[in-house]
Amino acid sequence: MTGTTNRRPMLIAGLAALAILSSACDGAVSGNPSPTTPAPTVTTGTSSSNGDPFAKMTPCATLDQTLMGQGYAKAVPTTADTERSCTSNKVGDSDVALSLQAGQTIDENIPDRSKAFPGKLNGRALILEREPTGITGQCSIGLEVQPGSRALLAVGTSAKTTDQACDMAETFAKKLEPLLPKAG
């Protein structure tokens, strides 16, 4: 087996753990995101009657729309958090996970604050975190949806650097941001 093959289960496990536990990546994300053609299964709004801003969204449909046209497999629920988190992969390239977490802030569960960097995307607060589970080639971005809720996007690669994973996370965050309910 090659080193890349041996690291894949670690990357998937790390992304699943990150989707449940962590938030963020490296450097501010800037620019003006432009949404791709909306998928009919993704609904945005400001909030639901139960206070969950993600009540009308499905994480797998949202991740599929975010990764549309990039060659990723159809998103599937993670085994650890099937209701709030999904993952997708591009064989030989990377894994991407999305977790829609009501009741969790963008700055929760950051094990090494020296690797976490605040920023904004289209006026929305974010935290970008390099190697959130301590594995090279990982990056995550937590986007604030409401004070106390976040969308956590994580990228893990076995063949790329952490900088490349963070570049990918920033690109995907720009596509994800317009699909999220408005902050506040």
Max mean pLDDT among 29-38, 47-56, 86-95 falls in 86-95
10 Å CB burial of residue 1 (0-12, 13-18, 19+) is: exposed
Integer Cα distance of 2 and 21 in angstroms: 29
Q: If we measure between CA atoms, which residue out of 131, 106, 176, 129 comes closest to residue 14? A: 131
Express each pLDDT in 154-177 by its tens digit: 999 988 999 999 999 999 999 999
pLDDT for res 29: 39
Q: At 11, is the pLDDT very low, low, confident or very high (cuts 50, 70, 90)?
A: very low
Q: Is residue 69 part of a domain?
A: yes
**Diameter over CA atoms, the chain:** 51
Q: Is residue 104 part of a domain?
A: yes
pLDDT for res 70: 95
Mean pLDDT of the chain: 79
Q: Is residue 150 part of a domain?
A: yes
Q: Is residue 21 part of a domain?
A: yes
Q: Is residue 87 part of a domain?
A: yes
Q: pLDDT above 90 covers what percent of the chain?
A: 63
Q: At 147, is the pLDDT very low, low, confident or very high (cuts 50, 70, 90)?
A: confident
Q: Is residue 184 part of a domain?
A: no
Q: Is residue 166 part of a domain?
A: yes
Q: At 183, is the pLDDT very low, low, confident or very high (cuts 50, 70, 90)?
A: low
Contact 96/28 with Cβ under 8 angstroms? no
Q: How far is CA 151 from CA 12, 42, 71, in A?
A: 19, 14, 22
The number of domains in the chain is 1
Q: At 35, is the pLDDT very low, low, confident or very high (cuts 50, 70, 90)?
A: very low
Integer Cα distance of 169 and 172 in angstroms: 5
Domain holding 93, by residue range, is: 3-179
The separation between the first and the last C-alpha atoms of the chain, rounded to the nearest angstrom, is 49
